[in-house]
A and B are shown apart, each in its own frame.
Chain A
């Protein structure tokens, strides 16, 4: 290599370093711009009445009370349905699933499900829960749809958490004469609990932000009441935000920004908790 070539390679290297740093700062900068834009638009709109008011034709009197109530009830039912199924499935595939064709098939299947667009889950929910099971566009139909959507997340994170549990714990338990299920339920799942919990919280954060599948199953845009049972109709915060964003009047755009601030705070809070638990648990699991 001539010294000329060498200098050129050296300066290309330096140039790339600067350009790549610029790209990194660009991506981080967008996040800052997005947050700043939304907070500066919406923060003044956030007050107590914004949380207490029902939706209204008048932007200033509109609030997110029914949207919040709908979102939290939906989340409650979704977790109740998805949690036991997801955890048991994850435990089964990792602890019990022999390396057989069935386990392999399920694995491909879950990888596929995780990649199905959320709007397609909406079509599944619309046909299966709303029409065939005749649940109507109710909270429970929405919760069942979202459960299927977050199931792959819970299963995959449960499996990862269980994989991290050292075999010595299992062997010790078997050595004491415990059965497979006793070992799984009393030793493996408790040790993996931190990791499983992280997955559950991330799944909750995902469920909270979902909009498209709920629109497809017919969640309403205007709901002037708080749902009282699983068969009631509902709306959620992202749907309310979508509705306000599509209006031409600027006062509704302000409402949308204020709603987004609330939604982002909940999302970031959930993600923050998940990261905190994960870090704490990873330190503990390294016996």
Chain B
């Protein structure tokens, strides 16, 4: 009896250990292959060269164009998603009736459930032609359209997490503010939002991390041209798109071109890893401060 209990416990422990193996696997694989990559390409070139052309005859291995493409689409997405998502969260929590909120929240969650390949289609086939009517001469592939669509995809993350954070603020703070004669708006942005700031910041960090790693929307609608630019009207390539592009091509295993996806992947992983840990740290530090 005792023995059986112990065996089961060990089996269960092994199951939770699978997640550790996955993390270690990711870090090991990315690092080892990147080290091999840097034995052929100087790390200085990787970080400072302004061209990324591993698939051409004249090869350059500068990550900056891929990084600028990634940061550009992410910035556009965040500029749309953070204000919109936050305003909706404040509206739902401070103004809207309970019935309206219970209708809006699940519908917004539908936006988060839509597969990203669908958003890619929407960006390329609907948003880009629409933008071309407003901005004449806009390239069929550009950073703006997938950036905006990515922003739409992220709105529910911001709204949902920020709304949870706002709801966790004790009602007494709000009532005290009303009692001082403050309006709803003043209460919302001077009392509630600052009080919920740790949760809101976490939602923004997670949204940034999500946007950095998004693949299909940019692969479909941003074009696949690595360019060092911050012009949203030009076509760009993100790190994620490059990884998919190489994997879909006929690049021989163990070639230098093949190793580039690990170096690019490690760059992306470092960004999201740091962001995720910051958000985890904030959660540990500030969570439940009102309980």
Contacts and interface: CB of A to CB of B under 8 A. Distances in A.
Interface in B17-38: 17-20, 22-23, 25-26, 29-30, 33
B267 to A, nearest CB: 11
A238 B117 contact: yes
Q: Majority SS of interface residues in chain B?
A: helix
B30 to A, nearest CB: 7
Interface string B34-77: 00000000000000000000000000000000000000000000
Interface string A123-143: 110111001000000000000
B185 A116 contact: no
Q: Majority SS of interface residues in chain A?
A: helix
Given A12-B183, A27-B108, A38-B121, A96 B12 contact: yes
Interface stretch (B88-96, B192-200, B227-235): B88-96
B19 A152 contact: yes
A101 B248 CA distance: 42
Measured as residues with beta carbon below 8 angstroms from the partner, the interface class of chain A is: 35 or more
Contacts of A63: none
A31 B280 contact: no
B172 interface: no
Given A9-B186, A155-B19, A88 B106 contact: no
Contact of A122 (B13, B23, B247): B247
Given A13-B183, A112-B276, A209 B115 contact: yes
Interface residues of B, number: 86
B265 A221 contact: no
Contacts of A123: 26, 29-30, 243, 261-262, 265
Interface string A244-281: 01100000010011001001100110010001000000
B215 A88 contact: no
Interface of A: 1, 6, 9-10, 12-13, 16-17, 19-21, 23-24, 26-28, 30-31, 33-34, 37-38, 41, 84-86, 88-89, 91-93, 96-97, 105-106, 108-113, 115-124, 126-128, 131, 148, 151-152, 155, 179-181, 205, 208-212, 215-218, 221, 238, 241-242, 245-246, 253, 256-257, 260, 263-264, 267-268, 271, 275
